[in-house]
Structure 1
Amino acid sequence: MAETKREIERKYEATARTELPDLTRAPGVASVEDRGVAELDAVYYDTPDLRLAADSLTLRRRTGGGDAGWHLKFPVASGIRDEIRAPLSESLPKALAGLVRSRTRAESVVPVVRLRSSRQVHHLVDDTGALLAELSVDTVHANRLPEGPDTSWTEIEVELADDAEPGILDAVDRRLRKAGIRPSSSASKLARALEETADQAPEADESPVADDDTAGGRVLAYVREQVDAIVALDPAVRRDLPDSVHQMRVACRRLRSAFKSYRKVLDRTATDPIGDELKWLAGELGFARDQEVLHARLRARIDELPRTLALGPVRARLRIWNNAHSGGARRKALAALDSARHLALLDALDALLADPPLRKDAQDAPEPVLARAVLKDYDRLATRVDHALAHHTGHDRDLAMHDARKAAKRARYAAEAARPSLGKAAKRFAKRVKAVQSLLGDHQDSVVAREALRDLGIQAHAAGESAFTWGLLHGQEEAAGAAGEREFPEVWAKASAPELREPLTH
């Protein structure tokens, strides 16, 4: 089974003649313990065109040392990586194969570099003997595989111990720099090995991309940003990282909205089929995210109740209900990510960026083209808002307000995509429309919560429990929905003010 470790480290240049300074003079370090030499042998895997390395991911199979096995590292921030470990085996473990699939697709990973390191290990400990950091001096020999050139170097790594204060790295850094030891110019051993053993410079990307100063260039930059997010969030969803499902859905929706809003820039005959697949993926992920949001809302409602009004095992009933729904939702999301349909979608997005279906307006200046698209989406939103306000409270108004919410989201995304071109005018517009979207979103959440509370009440009654609390919460949600409906005209008036739209018309 794979396990995850947060790795926080700093790397420094060294030579065989480099001498370490007295690190006990670094605040907090009481002693430096020599832990001997470890001989490490690691083979790094990637696709033949180095897709993992391009995204700063490293996948290796290492023997020797105390952590022999398969290691997959994801960058988190400068000097910080998440390392997912799996036991040593001959072939790549399925758990790690899934985490790289959004990058590798149908390509197999193959050995690309072998690193053999002689590691002199030192433990930096405090006055209680607790480990603060591990400092290693690595003499590295790298071979490009299968039969490429080789290179050698020496480097120093300082890795923060689990639960140690990060400030210790700063203290050690000051001592090393004072001794003339400088930070490494390479982010990782693999990056250095690939650079120093490359037999030729990488070929320039000759994909046809519109000029950045055109409408097509700006739209494609936004599209590329969302595609990159979908690819990067795939393993995050698999790892069940906080908010990952939500962010992946947002990227899908933003991309799909961009295809619709900027149909004068990108040809619909090419983007509509991809948009349909993005809708499918967002929908498959939606079960998990929607359940998470709904459960949090209902749990908060229960927490706010006086204890005297929580009749029966309401928390246990909610937990049973949530477990029954959330387990299936996660399985559904993972099945979608493992499907051939998902991989085909990623390939289609790559193909679109490699050969974008640009229309005539794509060659024009971005400001007028993007502004017209934003205003067109606003007009669509205004029509749906008028339709919603024309209905009386009830099922038809609920549906109309939900339609208006979707239109608000699209108008907001269009304005956000246009912000690099339209500046503050697009920012103000997006902010006001987001307020409309948020209110309509809260209203829709109350509608969905009422349906769930009704089901919970029926289940409680069937089990011989009191349904009083579920009915009470249902009433609270009705009141919340009504309050949102009363507030809606005022929020919409701010979003439809002429001074908000006028800057976009010039």
Structure 2
Amino acid sequence: MRRSASWRWRTKSGRESRYSMRAASPDRQVTLGAIPTFHLPDLSGLAEGVVAGPEREARLETTYYDTVELRLARWGVSLSHHGDRWLLTIPNGGGRGASELAFAGATRRPPDGALALIRVYVRGAPLEPVARLSSWRRQVALVDGTGHRLAEVVDDEVSVLSGRRVAARFREVEVDLAPGADELLDSLLERLQRAGAVRAERTPPYLRALGPAAQADPDVVVPVLPAQPIAADVVRAALAAGVRLVLRYDPLVRLGGDPEHVHQARVGTRRLRSHLRTFRPLLDRAWADSLRDELGWLAGELGPVRDGEVLHERLLVLMGSLPAVDVRPAAGLADRLTADVAAARTRLLEGMSTQRYFDLVDRLVAAAARPELNEAAERPAAEALPALVVKPWRDLRRAVRALDEHSPDEELHRVRILAKRVRYASEAVAPAVGPEATRFGKLAAALQEVLGDHQDSVTMQGWLRGTATSRRRAFVAGELCAVEAERAEASRERWPAAWHELDRRRAREWIRS
């Protein structure tokens, strides 16, 4: 169904607001439409031992807040006020449903904690009431013989209010299944449909109330490329995709709790910096370099958090190889790393609360819509773009040829960075160049991954050597370093094969000057 957690949010002013969060699972929710005369049928006996609880009824009055341009709705975000609480719904990354955050507050001013999470989308525009819904809700819970809740069925009669006038009415029935209760879905839907409900596209009630404008594209749109794009088309699409990734994960980074969120924000930042480097011959250089420098600052804020999270995950895996007697001192090392990540996260959130950060966000939104291009960007993409991969590819080949079996770790790390540049450049031009560039990008990613494993081992060893403060922890750190040294050596042995695949003539012949 939904998992709940309670949190405290400290705003920039130092005031603290409490909220609770629950994560919904979209694959366990189904929405049905219903006619005004629909009545919930008896839902007992859907399976052996399944019993329907008593029907509960309630009147809900909800006001939704947004900007005049409906910026929140267009990003898939909603902010509403009901009774003595505010509810903020934010999409999770990767299309994995949404997180709902409830804030206490009877006033008509949104809580500071909620405003901080949506500032990246609002960007200074005032919030105002945009929709008022009055719902008569009927709710039935399905439980098994032990009283364990299996599903919940909610029947809402919704009135859209305009002043004191009812502007529109509609009705919907939502089925929300608990984990492990999927086998109930077919029989439950069949019974509801026999009573007059119909399958319907899941559109939240407030979006239905706001109309088509609320379902328009957000203010960062990744354009669809025409059949024969010019270089400028590809540049706009690549930059917009990176900006969209950074903005999408901003509130999730602020919430914390999932290392993947910082990772994705960092990926978006790195891709944008790479695109500005790759497409530099097509851009106004002063504009591109200035924006790239600011993105470098943001990458520097995200990096320590992500690097610390990677080390922490790696350390937990390493601890599984230790004898039982060594687990406790190793846990002390993990606690130290947890504290380091927490401190880095505090610095990151401080940076993301500065005017410098939001000035960068404004510049990124403008860059996604109107990058500052030069005349070279008007050339056909198929002619102009392959040459842009030449320099990163040459830099990578030169660095690899300078290596030997005794090359220091720093030089292998440099090759990894150059492989990443080749990968991002290939992926950026692939929409115009075709599958050859896509395959080449995947081969570069494979090389990057092997060398990334090597660098993670090297970094882990360095951290362990500098962290152990007692003899017992030093002994355990030595054990873990030995494991990581073996892993690093294995990566050294594996990377030449990945390079050989990337350097095949057939793989790289599409690159031309």
The answer to whether TM tops 0.5 is: yes
Scaled by the length of structure 2, the TM-score of the pair is 0.85
Q: Compute the displacement of 1:347 (Å).
A: 0.5
Deviations 1:232-285 (A, max 9, x none): 111111222341111110111011101111123333322221111211112111
- Contact 2:330 / 2:473 at 8 angstroms: preserved in 1? no
The answer as to 2:56 corresponding to 1:56 is: no
Q: For residue 305 of structure 1, what is the amino acid of its counterpart?
A: L
What are structure 1's unaligned runs of at least 5 residues?
Answer: none
Please list, as runs of the form range in 1=range in 2, the aligned pairs for 1:131-142 lying within 5 A after superposition: 131-142=149-160
Partner of 1:281: 298
Q: Compute the displacement of 1:339 (Å).
A: 1.9
Mapped to 1, the partners of 2:451 and 2:166 lie a distance apart of: 61
**Cα distance change, pair 201–221 in 1 and its aligned pair in 2 (3 A):** closer
Mapped to 1, the partners of 2:144 and 2:480 lie a distance apart of: 54
**Cα distance change, pair 163–483 in 1 and its aligned pair in 2 (3 A):** closer
Deviations 1:185-224 (A, max 9, x none): 561111111118x8x9989999998963222212211221
- Contact 1:53 / 1:191 at 8 angstroms: preserved in 2? yes
The answer as to 2:135 corresponding to 1:117 is: yes
Q: Compute the displacement of 1:398 (Å).
A: 2.6
Q: For residue 89 of structure 2, what is the amino acid of its counterpart?
A: K
- Contact 1:15 / 1:153 at 8 angstroms: preserved in 2? no
Partner of 1:451: 462
Give the match's secondary structure for 1:294: helix
**Cα distance change, pair 484–211 in 1 and its aligned pair in 2 (3 A):** closer
Q: For residue 113 of structure 1, what is the amino acid of its counterpart?
A: A
Partner of 2:389: 374
Scaled by the length of structure 1, the TM-score of the pair is 0.86
Task: Kindly tell me the number of residue pairs found equivalent between the two proteins.
Answer: 488
Question: Which region of structure 1 is more displaced relative to structure 2, 367-376 or 17-26?
Answer: 17-26
Aligned partner (choices 360, 380, 390) of residue 365 of structure 1: 380
Aligned partner (choices 214, 218, 239) of residue 223 of structure 1: 239
Q: Compute the displacement of 1:54 (Å).
A: 0.5
Q: For residue 154 of structure 2, what is the amino acid of its counterpart?
A: S
Q: For residue 15 of structure 1, what is the amino acid of its counterpart?
A: I
**Cα distance change, pair 176–79 in 1 and its aligned pair in 2 (3 A):** farther
The answer as to 2:493 corresponding to 1:493 is: no
Mapped to 1, the partners of 2:150 and 2:491 lie a distance apart of: 53
Please list, as runs of the form range in 1=range in 2, the aligned pairs for 1:281-430 lying within 5 A after superposition: 281-307=298-324, 310=326, 313-387=328-402, 389=403, 392-393=406-407, 397-430=408-441
Q: For residue 40 of structure 1, what is the amino acid of its counterpart?
A: L
The answer as to 2:478 corresponding to 1:471 is: yes
Mapped to 2, the partners of 1:471 and 1:359 lie a distance apart of: 56
Mapped to 1, the partners of 2:222 and 2:317 lie a distance apart of: 51
Partner of 1:481: 488
Partner of 2:112: 94
Deviations 1:19-51 (A, max 9, x none): 444544644684444434311111111122111
Q: Compute the displacement of 1:127 (Å).
A: 4.6
- Contact 1:207 / 1:355 at 8 angstroms: preserved in 2? no
Question: Which region of structure 1 is more displaced relative to structure 2, 469-478 or 275-284?
Answer: 469-478
Give the match's secondary structure for 2:37: coil
Question: Which region of structure 1 is more displaced relative to structure 2, 486-495 or 183-192?
Answer: 486-495
- Contact 1:71 / 1:86 at 8 angstroms: preserved in 2? yes
Q: For residue 192 of structure 2, what is the amino acid of its counterpart?
A: L
Mapped to 2, the partners of 1:346 and 1:503 lie a distance apart of: 36
The answer as to 2:455 corresponding to 1:440 is: no
Over the residues paired in the alignment, what is the CA RMSD in angstroms? 3.2
Mapped to 2, the partners of 1:121 and 1:29 lie a distance apart of: 20
Q: For residue 319 of structure 1, what is the amino acid of its counterpart?
A: A
Give the match's secondary structure for 2:280: coil
* Identity within the alignment, %: 32
**Cα distance change, pair 126–426 in 1 and its aligned pair in 2 (3 A):** same
Q: Compute the displacement of 1:291 (Å).
A: 0.8
Mapped to 1, the partners of 2:499 and 2:56 lie a distance apart of: 69
Mapped to 2, the partners of 1:303 and 1:467 lie a distance apart of: 18
Partner of 1:2: 19
- Contact 2:301 / 2:348 at 8 angstroms: preserved in 1? yes
The answer as to 2:63 corresponding to 1:47 is: no
Give the match's secondary structure for 1:71: strand
Partner of 1:460: 470
Mapped to 2, the partners of 1:48 and 1:210 lie a distance apart of: 27
Q: For residue 152 of structure 2, what is the amino acid of its counterpart?
A: E
Partner of 1:234: 250
Question: Which region of structure 1 is more displaced relative to structure 2, 133-142 or 16-25?
Answer: 16-25
Q: For residue 69 of structure 1, what is the amino acid of its counterpart?
A: R
- Contact 2:35 / 2:197 at 8 angstroms: preserved in 1? no
Q: For residue 19 of structure 2, what is the amino acid of its counterpart?
A: A
Give the match's secondary structure for 1:503: coil
- Contact 1:415 / 1:430 at 8 angstroms: preserved in 2? yes
- Contact 1:142 / 1:152 at 8 angstroms: preserved in 2? yes
